[in-house]
Amino acid sequence: MWYDLGRLLRGMRGDGIVVDMKKQTSKDTSVLEEELRAGGMRVTRQRLAILLALADAEDHPSAEDLLARARRYDASVSLATVYRTLAVLEQRGTVLRNEFEGSGARFELANAPHHDHLIDLDTGDVVEFRSDKIERLQAEIATELGYELVHHRLQLYGRKRGGKARAARRRAVGARV
């Protein structure tokens, strides 16, 4: 199971919004290895290092992030190998590519329950959430337009309330020093 149920329930808010869906990480790469082979790729030491970095990711790493993490397991991993491996896994539907404004492609495993993303414009932090209300509304809109909803991507961009004022204060304090 990908999500810790206790955490998930603690993250429950009114209107069926679930946040703080911390991913359970794992060092078990067997499923990912199978997917690579099914995609016609041999599981080399370098590719295994990339799979380990992917399986262990709690966040939404870029290809460069994954390269740095994979190199902890095998220093000979190249960025080209990261891109090729991600491309095959994405094609297999095992990895999701998220295009967040201002940060380029960010990756995550696709085996988590469906969720949407809120991106903090000041810090680049990515908050995962799921709202039953939004899910229902989107399906309704598609139906009204004569479609059956297949999937969707929703990204919210925001600033923490008071966050900008805090940052300005920090800058003012810094300027006096």
Contacting residues toward Zn ion, per CB under 5 A = 108, 128
Closest contact distance (angstroms) between CB of 5 and Zn ion is 18
Q: Measure Cα distances from 24 to 47, 50, 124 in Å.
A: 21, 18, 21
Query: Which one-letter amino acid corresponds to residue 33?
Result: E
Closest contact distance (angstroms) between CB of 97 and Zn ion is 11
Three-state SS across 61-89?
CCHHHHHHHHCCCCCCCCHHHHHHHHHHH
Nearer to Zn ion, 48 or 95 (CB): 95
Nearer to Zn ion, 32 or 107 (CB): 107
Nearer to Zn ion, 127 or 167 (CB): 127
Closest contact distance (angstroms) between CB of 106 and Zn ion is 8
Q: What are the E-state strand segments in 7-74?
A: 17-19
Closest contact distance (angstroms) between CB of 176 and Zn ion is 40
Nearer to Zn ion, 38 or 156 (CB): 156
Q: Are 137 and 149 in contact (CB under 8 A)?
A: no
Closest contact distance (angstroms) between CB of 74 and Zn ion is 26
Nearer to Zn ion, 132 or 140 (CB): 132
Instruction: Determine the 3-state secondary structure of 158 from DSSP.
Output: strand
